């Protein structure tokens, strides 16, 4: 381990982003090329890291640890396990495809600069093994989001949505931070010294009473970002207002950040608290799953459909985590990756349609299959994934989740299964109207998508199909991560 691969992945985007922001004389094309090169390298590095992760050995790999504020027990400590390796890859995929579909964005310098700062934050959270590093990176990820939405977003709602999103997420992170500090200080009682290191905190033996009190605060603080009911509302509004690449990042990666951190900090540090609070959390996620799907089915705005479908699918992710059993966690792990890629694909397609038609109103659209066949096929594949069709990654994810939920309480699985039917209904409705419906006169001459868009679509589709057909290119990674979580749950 000579090359600090993980740190390279984490910091490459922010370095490139800073260079862009500080290089005023660079032309538009220079910036775009720099952005594309950065995104491609980051993508390749994250894929390399994913491939190199040894799931047979399991545990944390690519670990790097440097003291940061040693007096406070804070260090820069990063590493990946079987659960976070796919998420690092996911972030690489989304940054690469997001860059491609934003090729013609206004003011690329500021846009890509901020986007890459955000990317560093996301990578950092997934890799963090130190609570302070995690919070630090978390804020790095949330802050540029506000600017990206407010500056490049949809004129009508961007200020409202940007503010809503930022407030929700900041409140969530404050809750989580307070809980995190409480844990650190409680752990000092047991350990005798101050540390923010997650691996040490895991072993701190926090008392059951402490866990029962603090678990919901920490879990909920992070789950806000995962879009848990009833604090999910920032997410559809945020998705709709954001520009395409930001929506892709937002729904594809950022929401996973919440679920992942809720697992890593909430469940893994306070397993007893998790077991105690499981029943009502799973009910909330059940609401997410069904309610989100129903709302998605009646939206007239193309982007709101996808936005609420994310609420529904993220509900499945958190539900799988909340089952605390092998199948549920395994499904959640796959679903985080699968949903990330799928939603990114959805938003990419919506963006392509909107850029050409300047409307997202479903009844006004039609005939896009003829004008944008690549986007149409991509949408259908994303749709099939979202309705859990075998052969696509969604099935590999949802089947274990349903099995895990059935093990916990069969009736919850039965109610949650309603969402599968409703999902199919809205996907088909949109596909039929927007892509197969009659082509309105005013869209007769819209141009087809360019080569960058095509590469982005093909990349995203590749992952959905590859995992659907060959699940063993991802499941063993997640399995090894899940087994570690299960030892914590069993041993605590």
Residues forming a β-bridge with 69:
74
Query: What's the CA gap between 476 and 119, in Å, rounded?
Result: 26
Select 191 or 486, whichever has its Cβ closest to other proteins.
486
Give the distance from CA 310 to its chain's centroid: 10
Q: How far is CA 50 from CA 16, 88, 114, 482, in A?
A: 22, 8, 25, 16
Q: Which stretch binds other proteins (CB under 8 A): 126-134, 260-268, 273-281, 470-478?
A: 470-478
Q: Is residue 169 close enough to count as binding other proteins by CB under 8 A?
A: no
Least Å distance, CB 425 to other proteins, is 6
Report in angstroms how near the CB of residue 481 gets to other proteins at its nearest. Answer: 13
Return the H-helix or E-strand segment holding 391.
none
Pick the closer one to other proteins by CB: 51 or 298: 298
- Token digits for 236? 């559809």
Report phi then psi at 12, rounded to 5.
-55, -45
Q: Are 200 and 191 in contact (CB under 8 A)?
A: yes
* Spatial distance between the Cα atoms of 287 and 340, rounded to a whole number of angstroms: 21
Contacts with other proteins, 423-452, as mask; x by CB under 8 A:
-xx--xx--x---xxx--------------
CB of 117 to other proteins, least distance (A): 28
Q: Which residue from 76, 112, 136, 291 is in contact with other proteins, where contact means CB under 8 A?
A: 291
Residue whose CB is less far from other proteins, 59 or 391: 391
Alpha helices by DSSP H, 192-270: 198-202, 208-223, 234-241, 244-249, 255-261, 268-269
Judged by CB under 8 A, the residue of 45, 88, 150, 384 near other proteins is 384
In whole angstroms, the minimum distance from the beta carbon of 34 to other proteins comes to: 35
Q: Which of 63, 103, 476, 484 binds other proteins (CB under 8 A)?
A: 476
User: Interacting stretch for other proteins, rule CB under 8 A, among 81-89, 93-101, 271-279, 297-305?
Assistant: 297-305
User: What span, in angstroms and rounded, lies between the C-alpha atoms of 80 and 172?
Assistant: 24
CB of 72 or CB of 418, closer to other proteins: 418
Report the site for other proteins in 397-416 (rule: CB under 8 A): 399-400, 402-403, 406-407, 410-411, 413-414
Classify 389 as helix, strand or coil: coil
Q: Residue 110's CB: how many other CB atoms inside 10 A?
A: 18
In the complex, what is the shortest distance from the CB of residue 308 to other proteins, in angstroms, rounded to a whole number? 8
How many of the other CB atoms lie within 10 Å of CB of 452? 17
Which residues fall within 8 angstroms of residue 413, CB to CB, at 6 or more apart? 402, 405, 406
CB closer to other proteins, 151 vs 428: 428
For residue 194, is it left (φ>0), alpha (ψ between -120 and 50) or beta? Answer: beta
d(CA 69, CA 91): 28
Cβ atoms of residues 300 and 362 within 8 Å:
yes
- Shortest Å distance, C-beta 218 to other proteins: 22
Cβ atoms of 119 and 107 within 8 Å: the answer is no
The residue from 185, 421, 448, 458 that contacts other proteins (CB under 8 A) is 421
Identify the residue among 326, 339, 360, 371 touching other proteins (CB under 8 A).
326
| Helix (H) or strand (E) segment spanning residue 473 | none
Tally of helices (H runs) and strands (E runs) in the chain: 21, 2
> Which residue's CB is nearer to other proteins, number 212 or number 409?
409
Which residue, 163 or 182, has its beta carbon nearer to other proteins? Answer: 163
Q: Contact region for other proteins (CB under 8 A) — 63-71, 186-194, 296-304, 341-349?
A: 296-304
Q: Count interface residues toward other proteins (CB under 8 A).
A: 49
Dihedral of the alpha carbons of 441, 443, 445, 446, in degrees to the nearest 10: 180
| 405 close to 288: Cβ distance less than 8 angstroms | no
Stretch in the footprint of other proteins (CB under 8 A) among 127-135, 342-350, 422-430, 443-451 = 422-430
DSSP readout, 405-419? HHHH-HHHHHHHHHH
Applying CB under 8 A, which of residues 298, 363, 444, 462 lies at the interface with other proteins? 298
Judge whether 97 and 42 are in contact, CB under 8 Å.
no
Which of 4, 210, 391, 465 touches other proteins by CB under 8 A?
391
Could you tell me what percentage of the chain is helix, strand and coil, using 3-state DSSP and rounding each to the nearest 5? 75, 5, 20
Among 75, 211, 297, 459, binds other proteins (CB under 8 A): 297
Interacting span for other proteins (CB under 8 A) from 79-87, 218-226, 244-252, 391-399: 391-399
Q: Binder to other proteins among 72, 390, 440, 450 (CB under 8 A)?
A: 390
Applying CB under 8 A, the residues found at the interface with other proteins are: 164, 230, 233, 291, 294-295, 297-299, 326-327, 330, 370, 384, 387-391, 395-396, 399-400, 402-403, 406-407, 410-411, 413-414, 417-418, 420-422, 424-425, 428-429, 432, 436-438, 471-472, 475-476, 479
């Amino acid at each position: 381990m000579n090359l600090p691969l993980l740190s390279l992945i984490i910091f490459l985007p922010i370095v490139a982003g800073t260079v862009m922001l500080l290089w005023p004389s660079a032309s538009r094309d220079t910036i775009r090329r720099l952005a594309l090169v950065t995104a491609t390298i980051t993508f390749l590095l994250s894929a390399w890291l994913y491939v190199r992760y040894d799931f047979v050995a399991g545990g944390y790999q690519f670990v790097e640890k440097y003291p940061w504020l040693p007096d406070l027990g804070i260090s820069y400590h990063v590493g990946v396990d079987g659960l976070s390796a796919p998420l690092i890859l996911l972030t690489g995929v989304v940054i690469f495809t997001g860059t491609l579909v934003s090729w013609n964005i206004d003011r690329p310098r500021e846009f890509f600069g901020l986007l890459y700062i955000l990317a560093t934050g996301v990578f950092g959270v997934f890799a963090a093994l130190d609570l302070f590093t995690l919070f630090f990176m978390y804020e790095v990820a949330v802050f540029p989001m506000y600017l990206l939405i407010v500056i490049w977003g949809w004129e009508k709602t961007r200020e409202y949505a940007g503010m809503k999103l930022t407030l929700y997420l900041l409140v969530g992170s404050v809750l989580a931070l307070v809980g995190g500090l409480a844990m650190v200080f409680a752990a000092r009682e047991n350990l005798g010294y101050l540390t923010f290191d997650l691996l040490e905190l895991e072993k701190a033996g926090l008392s059951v009473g402490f866990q029962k009190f603090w678990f919901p605060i920490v879990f909920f603080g992070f789950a806000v970002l995962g879009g848990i009911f009833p604090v999910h509302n920032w997410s559809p509004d945020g998705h709709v207002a954001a520009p395409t690449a930001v929506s892709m990042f937002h729904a594809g990666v950022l929401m996973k950040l919440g679920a992942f951190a809720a697992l890593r900090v909430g469940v893994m540090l306070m397993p007893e608290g998790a077991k105690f609070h499981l029943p009502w959390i799973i009910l909330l996620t059940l609401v997410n799953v069904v309610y989100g799907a129903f709302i998605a089915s009646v939206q007239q705005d193309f982007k709101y459909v996808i936005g609420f479908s994310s609420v529904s699918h993220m509900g499945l992710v958190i539900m799988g985590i909340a089952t605390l059993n092998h199948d549920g966690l395994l499904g959640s792990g796959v679903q985080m990756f699968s949903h990330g890629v799928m939603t990114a694909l959805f938003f990419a397609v919506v963006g392509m349609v909107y850029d050409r038609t300047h409307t997202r109103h479903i009844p006004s659209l039609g005939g896009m299959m003829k004008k944008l066949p690549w986007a149409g096929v991509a949408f259908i594949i994303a749709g099939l994934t979202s309705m859990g069709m075998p052969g696509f990654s969604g099935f590999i994810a949802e089947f274990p989740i349903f099995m895990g939920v059935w093990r916990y309480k069969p009736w919850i699985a039965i109610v949650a299964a309603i969402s599968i039917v409703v999902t199919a209904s809205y996907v088909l409705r949109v596909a039929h109207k927007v892509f197969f419906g009659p082509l309105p006169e005013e869209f007769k001459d819209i141009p087809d998508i360019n080569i960058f868009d095509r590469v982005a679509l093909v990349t995203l589709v590749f992952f959905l199909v590859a995992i659907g057909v060959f699940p063993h290119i991802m499941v063993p990674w997640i399995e090894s991560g899940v087994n570690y979580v299960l030892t914590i749950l069993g041993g605590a």
